[in-house]
Structure 1
Amino acid sequence: MTADPLAWLVALEGVPSAFAAARDGIDAVLRDRGLRRTSPETTGESLLRGAHASAVLEGSTSSLAELREGGGDDVARDAVRLSTEVLALVPTLRTAPLQALARLHAVAASGSLDPERLGRPRDAASADRLRDLAALVTARTEAPALVLAAVVHADLASAAPFASHNGIVARAAERLVLAARGVDEKSLIVPEAAHLALRAEYESNLRGYAAGTQPGVHAWLLYAAEAYAAAAEASPLRRALE
């Protein structure tokens, strides 16, 4: 039997309880009343808010109002374009995750890179990293889907396997995993907004993860659990629940 590749993460102190609490918070928003009252417009609002937050984290100065009107700077437009494709990639992530990750980059970077560089890793080491990450997505694991989403996000953001847009792709991939693994099938929570609200902690813990040490990975996971709880609070559904 193949060993569970995420088992060691779930064994880290405080991780199981932190992610259980985060999942409870998400479910409270999505299940109590939310899913019975949602519409495509609510999903669209969540995706737009997420695209705006992700773009700001990537250096955009555009406002959410500008994005609502179809405007914004190049980074913001790239993030919005990607947000419209994310949910369509759910089946692909489940069966061909490497293809899904490549597609995320191809969509995000379509306005700024030569076609032959879209969806392609920067070098051989990046290609290996992407293959390993794709294998992790399809591996048998008892770890919570939230843990997998956090790892996919941090790995893409820290490894920067593509020639551009790695942060935007990483945050879109996180949202994609949450949808594909049944945590948030209609993509109604807004993890990108949580990362923006917690920006100092977000960026610091990503640097810790990139260092590759167990304390750095541990700290990232505990941060991610906090961010997922905040992502539920950032959902457009919150107004309906108040």
Structure 2
Amino acid sequence: MDPLAPLLNLADIADAVKGARAAVDGAYRHPALRRKGGQVAAEISLRCAVASASLLSGGYDLELVRSGTVLDPVLQGSLRVAESLPALAARWENAPRQVFARLHLLAATGLVPADALGRPAASLDRVCSYIVSRSGDPLIRAAVVHGELLALNAFGPVNGIIARAAARLTLVASGLDPRGLVASEEIHLAREPEYLGAAGAFATGTPDGIRSWLKHCTTATTMGAAIITEVGDLALA
């Protein structure tokens, strides 16, 4: 039995998943993705990397980052991770442990001793089993992988960056967000108290806690899809 399938039966979750999927599908029809898809993808990748790093280190100015003047190691690690995701997505469902090792190397260089890079401090067996078996709906799977990694704290000072990258990789590899354009990280940052509270609730393992996290993640996907439209409009302006 698929261990994640029952989560769709939690109150309002099936409708939230359906709405998030529709939002992504709609955003992918934006004309900018045909004409200036690379430009849109690069902008969203940058914004998501900055948002993910900001959730760890209190915030970075996007325009200063864009200018190349911010050399903080947390931010630089997040940028390296974001740049790597398109290539790593092809290996994600077959070799997630190798991808986790690579993500840790990219994110934590300069922050942890070299001999600790690529070595998680907690077992990733359950998380990897969800990824390899493609358990549940992709949105549910991405949320559970994300939440489990936050709770495990297997990657020390860059754990959040890797957890959010893992969620993005799950959606890319599943084909739901094949170009990695849904800017969920910006929504997590904009709704940081809710993000942290829902993640803590998920870690309790109760149905209400899991439902709270799934609701937050599906909302972040829906709102993150709207950012595709926003960036696409700017690209065509």
Structures share fold, TM-score greater than 0.5: yes
Aligned amino acid, residue 74 of structure 2: V
Question: For residues 67-109 of structure 1, what are the alpha-carbon distances to aligned partners after superposition, in whole Å with 9 as ceiling and x for unaligned?
Answer: 1111222221121111111111011102111211221111100
Native 8 Å contact 2:10 2:207 kept in 1: no
CA distance in 1 between partners of 2:67 and 2:154 (Å): 32
The alignment yields a C-alpha RMSD, in angstroms, of 1.7
Aligned amino acid, residue 7 of structure 2: L
Q: Which has the higher helix share?
A: 2
Shift of 1:147: 1.0
Given the alignment, which residue of 211, 232, 235 partners 1:237?
232
Given the alignment, which residue of 67, 70, 80 partners 1:69?
67
Q: Identity percentage over the alignment?
A: 36
Native 8 Å contact 1:194 1:227 kept in 2: yes
- Distance 1:140-1:62 versus aligned 2 partners, 3 A rule: closer
**Alignment partner, residue 106 of structure 1:** 105
Native 8 Å contact 1:60 1:76 kept in 2: no
**What does 1:129-168 align with in structure 2 at a 5 Å threshold?**
130-141=124-135, 143-168=136-161
- Distance 1:144-1:237 versus aligned 2 partners, 3 A rule: farther
Q: What TM-score do you get using the length of structure 2 for normalisation? A: 0.92
Native 8 Å contact 1:71 1:77 kept in 2: no
Question: For residues 16-75 of structure 1, what are the alpha-carbon distances to aligned partners after superposition, in whole Å with 9 as ceiling and x for unaligned?
Answer: 110100110111111353542343222111110001111111114321011111122222
Residue segments in structure 2 that go unaligned for 5+ positions in a row: none
Q: What TM-score do you get using the length of structure 1 for normalisation? A: 0.91
CA distance in 2 between partners of 1:140 and 1:228 (Å): 19
Aligned amino acid, residue 52 of structure 1: V
**What does 1:65-214 align with in structure 2 at a 5 Å threshold?**
65-72=63-70, 73-122=72-121, 126-127=122-123, 130-141=124-135, 143-214=136-207
Aligned amino acid, residue 94 of structure 1: E
Aligned amino acid, residue 183 of structure 2: V
